[in-house]
Amino acid sequence: MNIPLIDISPLYQNDPAGKRKVANAIDNACQHSGFFYIKGHPISAERIHTMRTLAQDFFALPMAEKQAIAIRLSNNHRGYGETAAEQLDPTQPGDWKESFDMGLNLAPDHPLIGPQRPLYGPNQYPQTLAGFQHTMETHYRDMLTLGKKILSALALALNINEDFFDDKFEHPLSVLRFLHYPPRPAVTDANGKQVIPVGAGSHTDYGCITILWQDEIGGLQVQDVNGHWIDAPPIADTFVINIGNMMARWSNDRYKSTPHRVYSPSGAERYSIPFFVEPDFDTDVSCLPNCCAAGETPKYAPISAGDWMIYCFNNTYAYRQEETA
C-alpha cells in the first residue's frame, strides 16, 4: 500500500476539471488506503510554527495547572488528558500520550446545551498562556474551513452535490487536539508484566475525516488490507488526512476507516496536532444515495453524529466508564 500525496490547490481555483482530478485522486486513496497526504493547502508555515510552539508551551505547564482543566472535570469532553487517560487499543496499556481537546466554545446558557447533546458546551483553557484562546479559536476556524474544502472534493467523488456537507457544520462537534508523546517508560500491564506502552494504540477515528499535523519524529503507522503496518512518515508542509468511521458509515464502506497507531522511536519526544472534522450533533449519518445498490440494505443503521461520538468516547476513556457504570 502506498499513501499518496495529493496537491489540493485546484480546489481553490475556478477550474472544474482540476477539481475533478483532485476528487478522483482522493476517491482512489480513500478506497484503498483510507489515508493520503495533502499539499497546496492554505495553512501557512508560520501558523504551524505558532501552533507547535503553543502545544509545547501548554504541555510544559505545571501538572497542577493542567489538571485544573482535566477532561474529566468537563461535562462536554474538553480539556487536558494525562498519560494513560485514553486507551485506544483495549489489548494494550493506556496510551503514553498527553492530550488537550478544544472545540466550539459555547456559552453555558446556549440553547443547544443540555442532556440531549452532551458534547456541546464551554472549553476549558489554561489561565497563564497569553493569547491561548484566541490562537486556538483562530486555528480551529481555519482548519474547519480546510476540512469543509476537502469534504467538498469527497462529495464530488461520491457524485453528490458539492455542497452536501456545507449545512452540516453550523455547530460542529469538530475538535482541535494537541498531543504530546513523552519518552515511553516501562509500565506494569493488567497481568503484572512490565511492558513499554504504545504512544497511541491501534484505532480508527470516529468522525468524517481527520487532518493531522505531525512533527519530524515519526511513528505514525497505518494498517494495510493484509494487516501489515506501514509507516506514514512526516513530510514537510503537508497534512495527513484519513477517513473516520462516520464517513465509512455515510459511504457504506466505499471509503475505509483505516486502523492506525503511533509507535515513536524509543526515547523520543513527539508532538502532533490532529483536527477531527465532525458535523453538528443532530446530523443524520445514514447511507448516501449513491453508496448502496437499489434493493440492498445499507451495512449500518442510521445514527446521529453526536450519538456515534459519545458511543466511541465511552469505549476509550476510563473516566467516562466510571461515570456511566
Interface positions, 94-123, toward ligand AKG (CB under 6 A): none
Question: To which residue does cell 453555558 refer?
Answer: 108
Asked if 179 contacts 271 with a C-beta cutoff of 8 angstroms, the reply is yes
Which residues are paired to 243 by β-bridges? 209
- Residue 245 is a binding residue for ligand AKG (CB under 6 A): no
Query: CA of 295: how far to CAs of 125, 130, 221, in Å?
Result: 50, 58, 38
Q: Which does 179 bind (CB under 5 to 8 A by kind): ligand AKG, Fe ion, none?
A: ligand AKG
Query: Is 86 among the residues that bind Fe ion (CB under 5 A)?
Result: no
Strand bridging mode 303-304 / 284-285: antiparallel
Q: Is 120 exposed, middle or buried (0-12, 13-18, 19+ CB in 10 A)?
A: buried
- Closer CB to ligand AKG, 121 or 201, in the complex: 201
Grid coordinates representing 249 are 458509515
Name which position in 27, 98, 101, 205 contacts ligand AKG (CB under 6 A): 205
Amino acid type, 215? D
Strands 270-277, 303-304: pairing kind: unpaired
Closest CA to 179 of 98, 234, 84: 98
Residues 6+ apart with CB under 8 A from 229: 221, 222, 223, 261
Q: Does 55 bind ligand AKG (CB under 6 A)?
A: no
Residue listed under C-alpha cell 519518552: 183
Minimum CB–partner distance for residue 13 and ligand AKG (Å) = 30
Question: Per-residue contact track with ligand AKG, 163 to 202, x per CB under 6 A?
Answer: ----------------x--------------------x--
Query: Residue 99 carries which side chain, given as an amino acid letter?
Result: S
Contact flag: residue 27 with Fe ion (CB under 5 A): no
Q: Which does 69 bind (CB under 5 to 8 A by kind): Fe ion, ligand AKG, none?
A: none
**Neighbouring C-alpha atoms within 13 Å toward the C-beta of 179:** 23
Comparing CB distances to ligand AKG, the nearer of 89 and 137 is 89
Q: Is 262 in the site for ligand AKG (CB under 6 A)?
A: yes
Query: Segment near Fe ion (CB under 5 A), from 201-209, 218-226, 231-239, 308-316?
Result: 201-209
Of residues 213 through 242, those in contact with ligand AKG by CB under 6 A are 214, 220
Q: Does 288 bind ligand AKG (CB under 6 A)?
A: no
CB of 267 to ligand AKG, least distance (A): 17
Question: Cβ neighbours of residue 80 under 8 Å, at least 6 residues apart?
Answer: 66, 67, 69, 70, 71, 98, 99, 100, 124
By CB under 5 A, tell whether 205 contacts Fe ion: yes
**Smallest distance from Fe ion to CB 227, Å:** 18
Q: Provide, rounded to whole angstroms, the least separation between the CB of residue 83 and ligand AKG.
A: 14
What residue ranges bind ligand AKG (CB under 6 A)? 179, 200, 205, 212, 214, 220, 260, 262, 272, 274
Residues that bind Fe ion (CB under 5 A): 205
